[in-house]
Structure 1
């Protein structure tokens, strides 16, 4: 263990650069409603009588074929406080839709009933309005623990192929612990994790910081995760990113201030904001949400999400953690004890691998942080 202590002290300088902890303040996923949005929502709610039916929640099952014939399928491209903006591919039309009462009052472990990327059945109403009556089964989901309700899952996006885990070299500081949590969340949610490290141009002249960034990139690449150094100034990595995103549904997610929206603007050639998208397709309609889904010129979609300050793992058991660290899974077979936690047991092959540099110290730190949390939801 003495060598681990020496390694730890040597890494103190790096810890000032690669921050591993972050605060508990939740990002504001929804902003306050504006007056027009409230009026639209109230108008839709007046037409929706299902909220007065006491048995709706119990009768709610899969819609019959006859019911589906009278409904349309739309994809959620933007979230509002009481509904969503839907895009119907068949007609290339946008609709402002409220959640029908029977669906709204269902109980679930999810904080939000809808998320960006959801496919839904909805009832069309006049003036490009609608009622969402059912959410189709999700093929993949990106989620985290809700910071305010420990038992709730906060859905970030659904039905996507890959998570573009976006962090920066500096401003804000690189958080490898956040990368590792996103990798776990992507794998659990049936998605491919891709690591993007932005603002790479800002460290080119600082050899010490550049060496750390290169080590981080090499580590994740050796583990089999596509990892790209990105600069929107020099355009480094942009062509590679375009190739990775071609024909895929991707979600940009990560820290606040790392340049996710700037990347999307560069990739699409537009200064996309959700409000502008809605204004171009539905005159007089506005939205206050930050998250939105944008089509790509090279085919596929990308989703921009609000930056976060913390990422709590939802429903992750301690005995499951090590399976998401490939290098630990490989070394644990050599441990003296089959139930080794790789924290302080004698004869631990994982700890020896860290001492010898076979396992990156920052990855081992991420593992320890997860294992030592009394409540994984409070990280």
Structure 2
């Protein structure tokens, strides 16, 4: 295997499966259960919210067509706080609450409403109906996957924001966002910020670290540029290619998503002259702080809307599906046709066209490494 391949995974001689290093996967602490006590508490809360004990007739009522009153209004959710849901209607913001009946609805969603939702509310500013979503971005609430968290709704495109050097570039997280974007009926766009730091890294980054980062970035571009996904390489500090990002946002609703510290909020401020709060990078950890605490829909010029989301270090996939994973790897298709078995997982089977392509350097090692990391979120029985 080529030297670049060895950087991405180690070969486990016992079972022949490549086990991925997590150097480029900073998992979010909150994504994992912190102990048995928290797990038991979560089970009790889930049972308390279980609506299966209610009559089916109660559930049918929720599915009926909603009757709108003369004074009812339609608006879009701008922001959600623990007690108030801010909805905009006719250029006016309303502080609304959610109707009790909606709160009782049985669902696998952690949150019943998301930023970007279109809703109806009555004169008392109570939301009584949420329109069906045309698109959404979501992630698993935790490893148990009993619930999923809606991050945003009714979006045209997702800007998958990454950074170079500070924080370190983590290409193996990108396909998680691509998969979720495709699942949620949105167009993914990869944005690589802080390009200037490759040539002028901060004082706490050595020249060797910057050189290694540059090599990883070059491997990424070689692997991902042939795909049908736009890649915008830019810098907030120098203004490099900010105009490209602004043009992509015109007359679109976009969501900026990515790790803390990659510069999501800074990009919005730089492009549109807004003053959303931003935070510094911690010198000891070289990671960003969670300055954006809640997702918020922001109205911008040129017909653009954007949603700035809190930074996350891992993106837990909701009910991961091997078939859906393969759909975002079109570069596998020419080689998968050479697999001996039609149900080949491209992991342990003999005469695998994908693994042969890797050995012959016809397929980018980074792409295969990303494929393996996504499969790690998929229970083995789903392949049966």
* 1:230-276 superposed Cα distances (whole Å, 9 cap, x missing partner): 201111120111111111100000101111111111122020359xx
Distance in 2 between the 1:78 and 1:143 partners?
16
Q: CA deviation at 1:220?
A: 2.0
Please state if 1:202 is matched with 2:197: yes
Contact kept? 1:203, 1:209, Cα under 8 Å: yes
1:368–1:157 CA distance, 2 compared to 1 (3 A) = same
1:10–1:82 CA distance, 2 compared to 1 (3 A) = closer
Secondary structure of the structure 2 residue equivalent to 1:26:
helix
Q: Please name the residue that 1:77 is paired with.
A: 78
1:55–1:18 CA distance, 2 compared to 1 (3 A) = closer
* 1:270-303 superposed Cα distances (whole Å, 9 cap, x missing partner): 20359xxxxxxxxxxxxx9521111121212010
1:57–1:346 CA distance, 2 compared to 1 (3 A) = closer
Secondary structure of the structure 2 residue equivalent to 1:215:
helix
1:107–1:300 CA distance, 2 compared to 1 (3 A) = same
* 1:326-359 superposed Cα distances (whole Å, 9 cap, x missing partner): 1123321121221111112222111122223332
Q: Please name the residue that 2:149 is paired with.
A: 154
Please state if 1:335 is matched with 2:336: no
Q: Please name the residue that 1:354 is paired with.
A: 358
1:55–1:124 CA distance, 2 compared to 1 (3 A) = farther
Q: CA deviation at 1:309?
A: 1.8
Q: Please name the residue that 1:108 is paired with.
A: 107
Please state if 1:121 is matched with 2:120: yes
Matches within 5 A, 1:251-266: 251-266=255-270
Question: Is the deviation greater in 235-244 or in 142-151?
Answer: 142-151
Q: Please name the residue that 1:269 is paired with.
A: 273
Structure 1 unaligned spans of 5+: 28-53, 275-287
1:12–1:201 CA distance, 2 compared to 1 (3 A) = farther
Contact kept? 1:116, 1:292, Cα under 8 Å: yes
Q: Please name the residue that 2:282 is paired with.
A: none
TM-score (ref. length: structure 2): 0.78
* 1:5-25 superposed Cα distances (whole Å, 9 cap, x missing partner): x55435579xxx994322241
1:338–1:95 CA distance, 2 compared to 1 (3 A) = same
Distance in 1 between the 2:163 and 2:22 partners?
10
Contact kept? 1:26, 1:308, Cα under 8 Å: no
Matches within 5 A, 1:1-379: 3=1, 7-11=4-8, 19-26=23-30, 58-65=60-67, 67-88=68-89, 91-125=90-124, 130-147=125-142, 150-204=145-199, 206-272=210-276, 290-373=294-377, 375=379
1:371–1:332 CA distance, 2 compared to 1 (3 A) = same
* 1:93-144 superposed Cα distances (whole Å, 9 cap, x missing partner): 000111010111111011101111000011133xxxx111010010001111
Question: Is the deviation greater in 296-305 or in 356-365?
Answer: 356-365
1:346–1:248 CA distance, 2 compared to 1 (3 A) = same
TM-score (ref. length: structure 1): 0.79
- Structure 1 stretches of 4+ with a deviation exceeding 6 A read none
Q: CA deviation at 1:63?
A: 4.2
Q: Please name the residue that 1:48 is paired with.
A: none
Q: CA deviation at 1:362?
A: 1.6
1:289–1:369 CA distance, 2 compared to 1 (3 A) = closer
1:355–1:77 CA distance, 2 compared to 1 (3 A) = same
* 1:161-194 superposed Cα distances (whole Å, 9 cap, x missing partner): 0000011112222111210100000011100000
Q: CA deviation at 1:374?
A: 5.8
